[in-house]
Chains A and B, each alone.
Chain A
Amino acid sequence: MVDFGGWDMPVEYPSSGGLMKEHLAVRTGVGMFDVSHMGDILIRGPQALDATQWISMNDASRLQEGQAHYSALLYPEGTFVDDVIVHKLGQNDYLLVINAGTREKDYGWVKKNVARFHCHADDVGDYYTQIAIQGPKAEATLQKLTNASLPAIKNYWFTHATVCGLPNTLIARTGYTAEDGFEIYVPSDVATSERVWNEVAEAGKEFGIVPCGLGARNTLRLEGRMALYGHEISDSINVWEAGLDRFCKMEKPDFIGRAALARAKAAGLKRTLVGLEAVDRGIPRDGYRVFDQAGSEIGYVTSGSYAPFLKKNIALAYLPPQHSELGHEVFVEIRGQKVKCKVVPTPFYKRPKRS
């Protein structure tokens, strides 16, 4: 167990057979994650939309009820407070799902910045146990436990239905694994949480479901090039550098960070997030330094690991744009050795289209 944003969490489940088996279960069958550490902030009131628009970079006005999208809370500098998933629960009702490690900071920041709008923000994280069911067999697993028609829920949409006998449960087709899957939000009391967890495990048994820890969660999201706060995004990295342009809507009404982002765009990129694959033997890891052919230090690895499904050593790294073209060779310093890597397309892994 490790401390993760104040939560005692398993890196892997020995009963599952470890990280690698957990990772592969999600890619080929189904895995389940206790992600109750994720925080939840509700923004409610007649001006909930205006408030959400002001504090987040994606265009929440495009959301329909029952729809969610990836977005981020930004500082005036255009750097990240956190990344979030915004759910439109109702006309005046938005749910922001945030990271554990940034919960207090996020809530304080949201509260302060929505104060001038006619709405209120509440930290409701403690009310929910959040369970992620992920993998090609996630739908078949969860369908056994709910009266909702899961095939009707599109990616990044959600519904409320009965799950494990619990009425009005939020079921979202979202996740952090680059795989199809769902996240359900159930009451956080121990008895209910345990019961639902066990029922999901039972329902997924025929598909070989395994509980998955933080380790697999990290390698799965890395293969899918999904950002992790403190790594690919932080208070010193801006939206353009992180390559999250398509989630940032400059043409929507003004939002915190917009002016700085406009200036940053005009000034041009100094560094950009690229995918690397090790050519020589070695695993590039978080924080390792990156060098060019001539031996000059040009950047650093934000996340790197052996990729269990791709069976390659991969990394995300911040490099100057002139070193970012595909096939370009750079060197990651691993224990004093310069290990040759090449720039490759991301995401490293893309799930096959649903048939």
Chain B
Amino acid sequence: MAYPKDYKYTKEHEWIQVNGKNATVGITDHAQESLGDIVFVELPKVGAQLQAGKSFGTVESVKAVSDLFAPASGKVTAVNDSLNNSPENVNKDAHGAWMIKLELSNPAEVNGLLSADDYEKYVAEEK
């Protein structure tokens, strides 16, 4: 699975796609693969304020529970409710099945995150 070049990545295995002050967040293909069959996604409500590096929800596979960490600070403007009923979409297309949209409070925060190449290297080393 290719990691989109226009996304940024965290060491906790989230991706973020930034467009000016707006951003979309999900988990990486590597994350879905290590979790296995995803059966439950718990996301914040629209309007929630997220802080970079802090947990904003959980994703569960049959075998494990994993926290979701905010790649950047901001206000939640949209939540992908379709994942309530079809959490398996994260397994099918992790880089397309977004979880939340954010209005960033400090877009510069994203500069500190990993590029696609760096993330791929990071994952290779972790294995």
Specify the chain B residue showing the minimal Cβ separation from A214.
B63
In the complex, chain A residues whose CB is within 8 Å of the CB of B42 = 281-282
Task: Describe B's contact surface by its main secondary structure.
Answer: strand
User: Interface size (B, Cβ < 8 Å)?
Assistant: 12
For the complex, is B96 an interface residue (Cβ under 8 Å from A)?
Answer: no
Report the Cα distance A303→B58, complex, angstroms: 20
Which residues of B53-77 have CB atoms within 8 Å of chain A's CB atoms? 58, 60-63, 65
Report the Cα distance A281→B40, complex, angstroms: 9
Chain B 27-56, CB within 8 Å of chain A: the 1/0 string?
000000000110110100000000000000
Chain A 1-29, CB within 8 Å of chain B: the 1/0 string?
00000000001100000111000000000
Are B65 and A308 in touch, CB under 8 angstroms? Answer: no
Least CB distance from B112 to A in Å reads 28
Are B62 and A285 in touch, CB under 8 angstroms? Answer: no
Are A12 and B63 in touch, CB under 8 angstroms? Answer: yes
Are A19 and B37 in touch, CB under 8 angstroms? Answer: yes
Specify the chain B residue showing the minimal Cβ separation from A285.
B65
In the complex, chain A residues whose CB is within 8 Å of the CB of B60 = 283, 306
In the complex, chain B residues whose CB is within 8 Å of the CB of A313 = 40
19 A-B pairs (CB sep. < 8 Å): A11-B63, A12-B36, A18-B37, A19-B36, A19-B61, A19-B63, A20-B36, A20-B37, A20-B62, A215-B63, A219-B62, A281-B40, A281-B42, A281-B84, A283-B40, A305-B62, A306-B39, A308-B37, A313-B40
Report the Cα distance A20→B65, complex, angstroms: 16
Report the Cα distance A305→B39, complex, angstroms: 10
Which residues of A19-62 have CB atoms within 8 Å of chain B's CB atoms? 19-20
Report the Cα distance A19→B62, complex, angstroms: 8
Least CB distance from A23 to B in Å reads 8
In the complex, chain A residues whose CB is within 8 Å of the CB of B58 = 335
Report the Cα distance A118→B103, complex, angstroms: 78
Report the Cα distance A11→B37, complex, angstroms: 12
User: Interface size (A, Cβ < 8 Å)?
Assistant: 16
Given contacts A19-B63, A283-B65, A308-B62, 4 further A-B contacts (CB under 8 A): A19-B36, A219-B62, A281-B42, A306-B40
Residue from B40, B42, B61, B62 with most neighbouring chain A CB atoms (10 Å): B62
Task: Describe A's contact surface by its main secondary structure.
Answer: loop
In the complex, chain B residues whose CB is within 8 Å of the CB of A282 = 40, 42
Report the Cα distance A305→B60, complex, angstroms: 10
Rank and list the top 10 A-B pairs by shortest CB-CB distance, nearest first: A20-B37, A306-B39, A215-B63, A18-B36, A19-B62, A306-B62, A18-B37, A283-B40, A283-B60, A19-B36
In the complex, chain B residues whose CB is within 8 Å of the CB of A306 = 39-40, 60, 62
Which residues of A195-245 have CB atoms within 8 Å of chain B's CB atoms? 215, 219
Specify the chain B residue showing the minimal Cβ separation from A308.
B62
Residue from A11, A20, A281, A282 with most neighbouring chain B CB atoms (10 Å): A20
Report the Cα distance A20→B63, complex, angstroms: 10
In the complex, chain B residues whose CB is within 8 Å of the CB of A19 = 36-37, 61-63
Report the Cα distance A186→B7, complex, angstroms: 52
Least CB distance from A286 to B in Å reads 11
The contact of B62 among A215, A281, A335, by CB within 8 Å, is: A215
In the complex, chain A residues whose CB is within 8 Å of the CB of B84 = 281
Report the Cα distance A305→B40, complex, angstroms: 11
In the complex, chain B residues whose CB is within 8 Å of the CB of A215 = 36, 62-63
Report the Cα distance A203→B101, complex, angstroms: 50
Specify the chain B residue showing the minimal Cβ separation from A216.
B62
Least CB distance from A217 to B in Å reads 11
Specify the chain B residue showing the minimal Cβ separation from A335.
B58
Least CB distance from A22 to B in Å reads 10
